[in-house]
């Protein structure tokens, strides 16, 4: 009788451990965490634009980052940061919504919409834009390697 009770206990323990392993380490659970982390980074990026926090942006953007704006103009990381430092690009508010994250291992694509108020070289640029950011996880940290944004036409 003791052997049967021991065998049943062992089977229950094995199934419980397997169930826990699937719950704790499932790919879906991991991607939810990654999604939350990248959405947080995107919101911090917007906050850094308003604060003109060049140091934060320097860290989140890969050295070989390229941005493509609504006119099809390519910007290097150095050009993007120089524009922010110079004060010619001033963002007074920027809020993201409709964000979606797609994770492919150590690469992720984040899309969303920004509503912002700002001026570029003194000209009002306020409005909305759709954007796509591509992130790669390097040495445990997510860095953006490419961005594209397109203006949403005012109705």
No. of H helices and E strands in the chain? 4, 7
The CATH number of the domain covering residues in 28-151: 3.10.450.50
Q: Per the structure block, which two tokens stand in for 149?
A: 């944004």
Write down the pTM of the prediction.
0.77
- Mind listing the pLDDT tens digit for each residue in 110-125? 999 999 999 888 899 8
Q: For the chain, report the end-to-end CA distance as a whole number of angstroms.
A: 78
Length of the chain in residues, anyone?
A: 155
pLDDT in tens, 47-88: 999 999 999 999 999 999 999 998 999 999 999 999 889 988
What are the residue boundaries of the structural domains of the chain, listed by start?
28-151
Smallest Cα–Cα separation from 81: which of 109, 54, 100, 110?
54
């Amino acid at each position: 009788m003791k052997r049967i009770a021991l065998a049943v206990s062992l089977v229950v323990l094995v199934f419980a451990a397997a169930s826990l392993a699937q719950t704790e380490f499932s790919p879906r659970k991991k991607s939810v965490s990654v999604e939350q982390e990248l959405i947080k980074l995107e919101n911090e990026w917007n906050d850094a634009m308003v604060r003109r926090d060049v140091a934060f942006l320097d860290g989140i953007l890969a050295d070989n980052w390229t941005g493509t704006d609504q006119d099809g103009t390519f910007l290097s990381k150095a050009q993007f940061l120089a524009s922010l430092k110079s004060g010619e690009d001033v963002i007074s508010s920027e809020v993201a919504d409709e964000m979606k994250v797609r994770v492919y291992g150590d690469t992720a694509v984040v899309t969303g919409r920004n509503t912002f108020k700002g001026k570029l070289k003194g000209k009002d640029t306020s409005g909305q834009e759709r954007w796509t950011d591509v992130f790669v996880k390097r040495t445990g940290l997510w860095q953006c390697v490419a961005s594209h944004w397109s203006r949403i036409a005012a109705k």
